[in-house]
């Protein structure tokens, strides 16, 4: 099976969906000259192998069996779908090209636009292996342990709205274990950006409340990461060290971003002498902050979310 048109002809260009790719990426075309079925979505057409589609999806098998022949008695039958053309392109490409939508790795997750498109249509058409893989991509970006979080990849070609989309996917497809860190990532952006986008997010009332609660919760957790400078008996300049502590507290309070899981501050770089720096601590460790994130959002604790994730992996 050779895809004879790797570039999009003008009459087959796909429309962009709500999940935008970066401008550097071009729309994907799925068009095999020897294909046995033509799919139409919006103004875009796709020539694919109906047998492959039918073998992977009982929903498509029934549609394929009843597909209308073309108006002129030449060419394969035609099906018109109400799906997003871009998402259909991602879904069909994933079905026909095994190299297109690979499993995630500890350092790689596909662009969210592709993940979301494959997830929506694999769920709709019952292609379970692709649905599972899409959820795996989401799960590696929004993990359930601090160790995974410190090394988790970001989506390829990330977009500021990725986290907003992930929150909606978590609810739409019942993926509760990605919600804490999707909300964390979204509300840890500059406050003005969050407040500007939230009214137009398309969130449910509950998710809006979760995000508002998250803004407050993350600031509280960040304050628990503020320094407690314990002055050493051998302090070089006690006044300077305590002044540095006040400056760091002020910077946290006035910062319009809240990222309590950020790497710990290097105290000496903020004016604390080397002797006091060895005694400086925080109210909470990163591990304690991590454990508080779902609880502070009034979501299930990590141990319950991990169990749900493990159960979904074996389905």
Task: Tell me the pLDDT tens digit for each residue of 117-151.
Answer: 999 999 999 999 999 999 999 999 999 999 999 88
pLDDT at 89: 94
Contact 142, 185 (CB under 8 A): yes
Unique residue bearing structure tokens 């779908």: 81
pLDDT at 34: 87
pLDDT > 90 in the chain, percent: 41
Rounded Cα distance between 212 and 95, Å, is 39
Q: Where are the domains of the chain?
A: 225-283
pLDDT at 293: 95
pLDDT at 63: 81
CB atoms within 10 A of CB 138: 24
- Residue 29 exposure: Cα atoms within 13 Å on the Cβ side: 18
Does the pLDDT value for residue 15 go beyond 50?
Answer: no
Lowest mean pLDDT among 188-197, 226-235, 286-295: 226-235
Contact 129, 102 (CB under 8 A): no
Does the pLDDT value for residue 220 go beyond 70?
Answer: yes
Cα torsion 39, 65, 69, 3: sign:
positive
Q: Is the backbone of residue 42 left (phi > 0), alpha (psi -120 to 50) or beta?
A: left
Q: Is the pTM of this model over 0.75?
A: yes
Higher-scoring residue by pLDDT: 88, 67: 88
Unique residue bearing structure tokens 């300077």: 240
pLDDT range class, residue 226, cuts 50, 70, 90: confident
At residue 303, φ and ψ (nearest 5 deg) are -65, -35
Does the pLDDT value for residue 308 go beyond 90?
Answer: yes
Mean pLDDT value of segment 20-48: 77
Lowest mean pLDDT among 124-138, 218-232, 260-274: 260-274
Task: Tell me the pLDDT tens digit for each residue of 144-202.
Answer: 999 999 888 877 666 768 899 999 999 999 999 999 999 999 999 888 888 888 888 88
pLDDT at 182: 95
H-assigned helices in 82-178: 85-96, 112-124, 128-141, 146-151, 162-172
Rounded Cα distance between 140 and 155, Å, is 10
In the predicted model, what is the mean pLDDT of the chain?
83
Q: Which tokens hold the place of 98?
A: 């095994």
Lowest mean pLDDT among 31-45, 85-99, 278-292: 278-292
pLDDT at 17: 39
Does the pLDDT value for residue 251 go beyond 90?
Answer: no
Contact 128, 172 (CB under 8 A): no
Q: What radius of gyration, in Å, describes the C-alpha atoms of the chain? A: 25
Mean pLDDT value of segment 237-262: 83
pLDDT > 70 in the chain, percent: 84
Contact 289, 297 (CB under 8 A): no
pLDDT range class, residue 294, cuts 50, 70, 90: very high
Max avg pLDDT among 24-28, 71-75, 189-193: 189-193
Closest CA to 258 of 228, 205, 296: 296
């Amino acid at each position: 099976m050779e895809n004879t048109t790797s570039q999009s002809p003008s009459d087959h260009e796909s429309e962009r969906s709500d999940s935008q790719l970066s401008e550097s990426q071009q729309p994907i075309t799925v068009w095999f000259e020897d294909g046995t079925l033509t799919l139409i979505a919006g103004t875009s057409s796709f020539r694919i192998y109906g047998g492959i589609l039918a073998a992977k999806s009982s929903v498509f098998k029934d549609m394929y069996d009843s597909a209308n022949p073309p108006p002129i008695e030449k060419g394969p039958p035609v099906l018109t779908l109400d799906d997003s053309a871009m998402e259909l392109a991602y879904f069909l490409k994933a079905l026909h090209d095994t190299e297109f939508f690979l499993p995630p790795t500890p350092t790689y997750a596909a662009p969210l636009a592709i993940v979301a498109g494959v997830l929506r249509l694999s769920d709709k058409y019952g292609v379970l292996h692709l649905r599972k893989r899409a959820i795996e991509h989401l799960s590696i970006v929004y993990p359930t342990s601090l160790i995974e979080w410190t090394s988790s990849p970001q989506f390829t070609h990330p977009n500021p709205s990725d986290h907003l989309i992930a929150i909606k996917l978590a609810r739409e497809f019942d993926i509760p274990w990605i919600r804490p860190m999707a909300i964390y990532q979204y509300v840890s952006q500059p406050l003005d950006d969050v407040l500007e986008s939230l009214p137009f997010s398309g969130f449910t009332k509950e998710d809006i409340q979760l995000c508002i609660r998250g803004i407050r919760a993350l600031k509280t957790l960040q304050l628990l990461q503020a320094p407690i400078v314990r002055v050493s008996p051998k302090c070089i300049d006690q006044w300077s060290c305590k002044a540095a502590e006040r400056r760091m507290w002020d910077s946290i309070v006035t910062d319009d971003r809240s990222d309590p899981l950020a790497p710990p501050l290097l105290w000496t770089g903020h004016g604390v002498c080397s002797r006091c720096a060895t005694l400086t601590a925080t109210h909470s460790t990163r591990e304690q902050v991590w454990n508080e994130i779902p609880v502070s959002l009034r979501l299930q604790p990590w141990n319950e979310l991990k169990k749900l994730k493990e159960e979904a992996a074996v389905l």
